[in-house]
Amino acid sequence: MNTARLARPSLLRAARLVLLAALSAGTLGLSGCGGGVSVGVGIGIDAGSHDAPPTVSMSMSTASGAGGTTVRLTASPWDDYAVTQVDFEMVYPGGAVQHLGSVRRPPWVLDISLPYGTGGSVLSLRARAWDDAGQSGLSGWSGISVY
């Protein structure tokens, strides 16, 4: 079994962070001399402080429906590096939270069925986006009326 890897995502991420930090700190020296370009990067820069958690918004195909109605949840995540997953959650009356499902690549869409036995209530739904550094961001809650 070959255990050698060409590049690990964490190493590529670290390299991007160092390059971004060097650019923002002005320590990247670019010089041209007729036939090529040389690149110099400063050492000792804390690049980890530049990574922001993802943001996400969520929309629904309908604002109301009967038990059993299929509802399409669509997330719009953004991250300065890479979104790796979006989780969808629902809160029942009384506060119980249910994980509805996860999507690991675009399009960030999940179809759900409204639960039976919840008629006359409003259920709250939201999305949570995850980035490649394990950080997460939440959408606001969206309500759906069940009749």
In 3D space, the residue among 81, 74, 76 whose CA is nearest the CA of residue 134 turns out to be 81
Mean pLDDT of 2-13: 46
- Considering 3-12, 35-44, 96-105, the range whose residues carry the highest mean pLDDT is 96-105
Q: Which domains does the chain have, with CATH numbers?
A: 9-49 (no CATH), 55-146 (2.60.40.10)
Q: Quick one: pLDDT at residue 123?
A: 96
pLDDT digits (tens, 9 = 90+) for 12-45: 555 555 545 544 445 444 444 445 444 444 444 4
66 contacts 145 by C-beta, under 8 angstroms? no
The two tokens of residue 50 are: 């530049």
Q: Which residue has the tokens 């109605």?
A: 69
Q: Quick one: pLDDT at residue 21?
A: 53
Mean pLDDT of 97-105: 97
Q: Quick one: pLDDT at residue 67?
A: 96
pTM for this entry: 0.66
pLDDT at residue 117 tops 50: yes
Question: DSSP states of 80-114 as a string?
Answer: SS-EEEEEEEEE-TTS-EEEEEEE-SSS-EEEEEP
**Torsion sign (Cα): 17, 23, 28, 34:** positive
Which helix H or strand E contains 140, and what residues bound it?
Answer: none
How many residues would you count in the chain? Answer: 147
pLDDT at residue 114 tops 80: yes
C-alpha 73/C-alpha 110 separation (Å) is 5
